[in-house]
Amino acid sequence: MAETASVTNPTSEAISRRGFLKLAWGALAAFLGGTAASTLRFLFPNVVYEPSQKFNAGPVAEYPMGISLKWMREQRVWIVRKENGLFAMWGRCTHLGCTPNWFEGEKRFRCPCHGSNFNPEGDVIAGPAPKPLWHCKIEMAANGDLIVDKAILENRPGFRENAPYFVEYKA
């Protein structure tokens, strides 16, 4: 009879019981450490530090009748003065968020991206914008300055013409 030789892989090493236990305890310690680290991270909130949406727009007397572009570049807001008061509109198209431009000759806001048109009150004249432009909360401080808050918005007719989205003022 022929002898059969046992075939062993020379690169494999048998792991001892002590080695296996060290590996298992190490894996458990890594798992518990990761769980503790993620739990501690959960205790600290994710805070985005952004500038305030509220700003001082200056004295009411500085605004002439019509559309003021004074805060458009810095705050993306138009201040509109009418005979009986003022309101502020956020310069963001309700279609896809583009910034419309004011065309004095045509007396309308026009969105350069998709062609939406809005009248001076912010109502849609031509689509594809589905809703009117947003009116921002506006109030007059005790010293006569306008305070605009872009965090509080309204675009429904009948609501946006009243306080806090409209400030009555007569020169």
Answer yes or no: is 31 within a domain.
no
Answer yes or no: is 91 within a domain.
yes
3-state secondary structure of 28: helix
Answer yes or no: is 4 within a domain.
no
Average pLDDT over residues 35-53: 88
Task: List the one residue out of 150, 110, 15, 31 whose CA is nearest residue 165.
Answer: 150
Most confident stretch, 31-35, 92-96, 125-129: 31-35
Which residue is it, tokens 């769980």? 35
Each residue's pLDDT tens digit, 106-157: 999 999 888 899 999 989 998 798 999 999 999 999 898 999 999 999 988 8
Q: Look up the domain containing 109 and give its range.
A: 54-168
Residue 47 has pLDDT above 60, yes or no: yes
| Alpha-carbon gap, residue 133 to 118, rounded angstroms | 8
Answer yes or no: is 29 within a domain.
no
Answer yes or no: is 44 within a domain.
no
Contact 166, 85 (CB under 8 A): yes
List residues bridging with 108 in a β-sheet.
103
What is residue 10's predicted lDDT score, i.e. its pLDDT? 56
Answer yes or no: is 69 within a domain.
yes
Q: Residue 86 belongs to a domain with what CATH number?
A: 2.102.10.10
